[in-house]
Amino acid sequence: MTAKNDLRSVILSLGLGLVLTGIGVRAIACQNSLNTPSQVPLDNGGLSSESPVTQTQTEEGSIPQPRANGDYQRSPHFSWEAAQSNIQGIDCRMLGNTNYSQLENPGNKTELNIENWPVVGKLPPGQDFEINLGPAGFGVVYDTKQQPWIYVEKTDQTSVPSHCFVRANQQFVQPIAAN
pTM over 0.75: no
Check pLDDT > 80 for residue 129.
yes
Residues near 34 by Cβ (< 8 Å), separated by ≥ 6? 55
Residue that wins the pLDDT comparison between 92 and 51: 92
CA 140 to chain CA centroid, Å, is 8
* CA-based nearest residue to 76, from 21, 38, 25: 38
Q: Sorting pLDDT into bands at 50, 70 and 90, what band is 2? A: low
Check pLDDT > 70 for residue 37.
no
Q: Please give the average per-residue pLDDT across 78-102, as a whole number.
A: 93
Check pLDDT > 60 for residue 95.
yes
Least confident of 33-37, 109-113, 148-152, 169-173: 33-37
Check pLDDT > 60 for residue 170.
yes
pLDDT the model gives residue 150: 97
* CA-based nearest residue to 76, from 133, 6, 118, 149: 133
Residues of the chain with pLDDT > 70, as a percent, come to 65
Residue ranges of alpha helices (H) inside the chain are: 2-32, 55-58, 100-104
Check pLDDT > 50 for residue 110.
yes
The phi and psi torsions of 5 (rounded to 5 degrees) equal -65, -40
Check pLDDT > 70 for residue 5.
no
* CA-based nearest residue to 135, from 97, 109, 106, 166: 106
* CA-based nearest residue to 164, from 128, 122, 136, 126: 122
Please provide the average confidence, as pLDDT, over all residues in the chain: 76
The phi and psi torsions of 30 (rounded to 5 degrees) equal -65, -40
What are the pLDDT digits (tens) for 45-70?
555 434 434 333 444 458 999 999 99
Residue that wins the pLDDT comparison between 13 and 38: 13
Cα–Cα distance measured from residue 17 to residue 61, given in angstroms and rounded to the nearest whole number: 41
Residues near 175 by Cβ (< 8 Å), separated by ≥ 6? 63, 64, 72, 75, 77, 79, 80
Residue that wins the pLDDT comparison between 137 and 31: 137
> Does the CA dihedral 142-147-148-153 come out positive or negative?
negative
Q: Sorting pLDDT into bands at 50, 70 and 90, what band is 132? A: very high
